[in-house]
Amino acid sequence: MSKGRLRATRRLEAGWAVVLAICVLFSFYAAEAKEYVYKAVLLKGPAPIRIDGDLSDWEGLGARIEPIGNVCISAGKPLSPPSDSSDLSGSFRCVVDPENFYIAVKVRDDRLVFGEGKFGEAHDDDAVEVYFDGDLAPKEYKKRVCDYDANDAEVRFSKGKDGKVHLEGMGLFGDRLFMFPGLWESLGMEAAIKEHPWGYTAELKVPKIVFVAVPLRPGVEVGFQVMVNDDDDGGRRDSKISWTEDLNDESWYTTKYFGRLVIVK
């Protein structure tokens, strides 16, 4: 073989080696990146669900139980991981009817701490967070930069000192994130929490009109996320878990880590 052809052959071989390496890397990445999709059953008529924290009315609705299985590492400051599943673990279910989303959350938590913080600080107590992105519009992610649009928001709920469940959470107003006492309630959202010896069960009803402009029918998709805060000793929260891999607790300002809710028959 001439020197020229030998060099060309070697260059070709090197080229294939690069292509192979890229393919291996890509397949590795594809295997690693888990997709979080929850298929939410669409009920024909109004859902037979009472928002009272008792989840017995969910039996027989065909809602799959999905683990809230990722442990957050930090939330501005480092978080402690739960010591075991009785300290903090959970799962959620969701169904929709033509007018509303219904979310049920079951949380195992060894010590319940409610009502310590003032409005807007329930994340430092035991609290559930549910997030919506009404249209899945593509965003450009930049760390610490809010990319919410008008149909993206956080709905956080916990118990107050008065024993009543209070809703809070950030939404976009103008070009800034705000939360207002009573806002989510005024838009028709309802939430309830029932305490148990092993933790609590929670229910949330969200009128679809708050986030979604199209009729709820099979095939409709929205961005969705569920997270749970755990405080066992007062003061700041100790741990947090997330449905998707939002390990640094960023869903309150970006939809990057939201999973998807897909409506099915």
Whichever of 109 and 168 has its CB closer to Ca ion, that residue is: 109
Q: Which of 17, 19, 137, 209 binds Ca ion (CB under 5 A)?
A: 137
125 touches Ca ion by CB under 5 A: no
Q: Which of 66, 97, 124, 126 binds Ca ion (CB under 5 A)?
A: 126
Report helix, strand or coil for 209. Answer: helix
Q: Which of 57, 99, 116, 121 binds Ca ion (CB under 5 A)?
A: 57
Cβ neighbours around 1 below 10 Å, total: 8
Whichever of 102 and 243 has its CB closer to Ca ion, that residue is: 102
151 touches Ca ion by CB under 5 A: yes
14 touches Ca ion by CB under 5 A: no
Report yes or no: 42 and 218 within 8 Å, Cβ to Cβ: yes
Size of the site for Ca ion (CB under 5 A): 18
110 touches Ca ion by CB under 5 A: yes
Whichever of 149 and 195 has its CB closer to Ca ion, that residue is: 149
State the nearest-atom distance from the C-beta of 225 to Ca ion, in Å.
13
- Enumerate binding residues for Ca ion (CB under 5 A): 50, 52, 54, 57, 87-88, 109-111, 126, 133, 135, 137, 149, 151-152, 230, 232
